[in-house]
Structure 1
């Protein structure tokens, strides 16, 4: 008996098993690209003298999609999914606080900095998602060592 069989139709998610690690990797890359675009849009808002910065909707959606996909990965692959879910939630939290700090910089006319914490969290997520998704290519070398 599956632990969540009454909450989530785990059998229906079995069809996603070969693809979900690749989907998570793609969403991490999309999230990084939308972060770059969001930073440039917010920087132009500050240069134009905007009172309040706006959230960049595609970046918010890609972050939420990353969190949901990592939770689906958690249902399919418990160990790797737990690590990926923690990293995805970490990306979500750092994005939230980085946006708040950009608003403080804009209101107080401080230098508009890059979102360093969110970039670092994204790089960790990218490394782990790449490891989970592309392990097939390094498995022969890994088995020689281990």
Structure 2
């Protein structure tokens, strides 16, 4: 018996659950791609002297990662909470980096790359890649496990 079965109808999660790691992997790769496009756009906006505005596709992938990681908590509680903490850290880093880019644009400084949010998104990708693609290395990994 699932403790949440009376609060949240989780029957549909059994059909969607096995696909969640792959959806997270795709959303993570899309997030890295939109992060690159957002930085290019921020550099262009900073060269014009305007304030830097959030890049809508990047905001979409950020929110998608947050929602998918929260959904993943229901499927795999421990891994889902670890991933959720990483994704929320990435989201907070993105917010602070956007404000830093605004300060650079207003003061006519060169626009730097968002280093902390890049590191946070790479940590998310390492964890999601490990979780979703473990079947590729499971044969080698299991040889080292002492029975």
Q: TM-score range by the shorter chain?
A: over 0.9
Change (3 A) 1:105 1:3: farther
Task: Give TM-score, length-normalised by structure 2.
Answer: 0.94
The 5 Å alignment of 1:82-93 reads 82-93=81-92
Whole-angstrom CA distance in 2 between matches of 1:85 and 1:48: 36
Displacement of 1:6: 3.5
- Name the structure 2 match of 1:124: 123
Scaled by the length of structure 1, the TM-score of the pair is: 0.94
Counterpart Cα distance in 2 of 1:86 and 1:6 = 26
By how many angstroms is 1:2 displaced? 2.2
In the alignment, structure 2 segments of 5+ residues that lack a partner are none
Partner residue, 1:13: 13
- Paired residues for 1:6-85 under 5 Å: 6-50=6-50, 52-85=51-84
- Could you tell me which runs of 5 or more consecutive residues in structure 1 were left unpaired when the two chains were aligned: none
Using the TM superposition, name which of 10-19 and 63-72 deviates more: 10-19
Task: Describe the SS at the equivalent of 2:18.
Answer: coil
d(CA) in 1 for partners of 2:7 and 2:90? 26
Q: Where in structure 1 do 4 or more consecutive aligned residues deviate above 3 Å?
A: none
- The count of corresponding residues between Structure 1 and Structure 2 is 145
The RMSD of aligned alpha carbons is 1.1
